[in-house]
Copies of this chain bind each other. A is one copy, B any other.
Amino acid sequence: MVTIVWMHETALEPGKLYDLKLATRDLAGKVTAIDYQVDVNTLEQRHADHLDLNAIACCHVELTAPVPVDDYRTNPGTGSFILIDRLTNLTVGAGMIHCPLESELPYEYREHDSKARVVWNRTSVTQAMREQINGHAGKCVWFTGYSGSGKSSLANALEVELNRRGYHTMLLDGDNIRHGLCKDLGMSEADRTENIRRVGEVARLFAEAGIIVITAFISPFRTDRDQARALFDDGDFLEVHVDIPLDICEQRDPKGLYQKAREGQLDDFTGINSPYEVPKAAEVRLKTTEFNQQELLSQLFKIVM
Is A118 at the interface (CB under 8 A from chain B)? yes
Interface, chain A (partner B; CB < 8 A): 106-107, 110, 112-125, 129-130, 133-134, 152-153, 156, 159-160, 163, 166-176, 178-187, 191, 194, 198, 201-202, 204-206, 208-211, 216, 231, 255, 257, 266
Q: In the complex, what residue of chain B is closest to A124 when comparing beta carbons?
A: B160
Q: Provide the residues of chain B in CB contact with A167, threshold 8 Å.
A: 133
Q: Are B124 and A159 in contact, with the CB atoms below 8 A?
A: yes
Q: In the complex, what residue of chain B is closest to A168 when comparing beta carbons?
A: B133
Q: A113-B183, A124-B156, A183-B114 are contacts. A119–B175 as well, Cβ < 8 Å?
A: yes
Q: Are A152 and B121 in contact, with the CB atoms below 8 A?
A: yes
How far is B300's CA from A60's CA once the two chains are assembled, in angstroms? Answer: 36
Q: Are A130 and B163 in contact, with the CB atoms below 8 A?
A: yes
CB-contact partner of A168 in B160, B187, B210, B216, under 8 A: B210
CB-contact partner of A163 in B125, B169, B172, B191, under 8 A: B125
Q: A129-B163, A173-B121 are contacts. A181–B152 as well, Cβ < 8 Å?
A: no
Q: Are A168 and B130 in contact, with the CB atoms below 8 A?
A: yes
Q: Are B115 and A184 in contact, with the CB atoms below 8 A?
A: yes
Q: Are B116 and A185 in contact, with the CB atoms below 8 A?
A: yes
* A64 shortest CB reach to chain B, Å: 26
CB-contact partner of A255 in B119, B186, B216, under 8 A: B119
Q: Provide the residues of chain B in CB contact with A169, threshold 8 Å.
A: 125, 130, 209
Report 9 cross-chain contacts, Cβ distance below 8 Å, ordered by A residue. A107-B255, A119-B255, A121-B156, A123-B159, A123-B171, A124-B156, A133-B163, A133-B168, A168-B209
Q: Provide the residues of chain B in CB contact with A166, threshold 8 Å.
A: 133
Q: Provide the residues of chain B in CB contact with A134, threshold 8 Å.
A: 168
Q: In the complex, what residue of chain B is closest to A183 when comparing beta carbons?
A: B114
Q: Are A176 and B129 in contact, with the CB atoms below 8 A?
A: no
Identify the 3 closest CB pairs spanning chains A and B, nearest first. A114-B183, A181-B201, A170-B209
How far is B183's CA from A3's CA once the two chains are assembled, in angstroms? Answer: 41
Q: Are A160 and B198 in contact, with the CB atoms below 8 A?
A: no
CB-contact partner of A115 in B114, B168, B183, under 8 A: B183
Q: Are A266 and B117 in contact, with the CB atoms below 8 A?
A: yes
CB-contact partner of A179 in B110, B122, B180, B206, under 8 A: B110
CB-contact partner of A170 in B122, B191, B205, under 8 A: B205
Q: Provide the residues of chain B in CB contact with A185, threshold 8 Å.
A: 115-116
Q: Are B123 and A156 in contact, with the CB atoms below 8 A?
A: yes
Q: Are B121 and A170 in contact, with the CB atoms below 8 A?
A: no
How far is B120's CA from A110's CA once the two chains are assembled, in angstroms? Answer: 39
How far is B208's CA from A185's CA once the two chains are assembled, in angstroms? Answer: 23
Q: Provide the residues of chain B in CB contact with A133, threshold 8 Å.
A: 163, 166-168
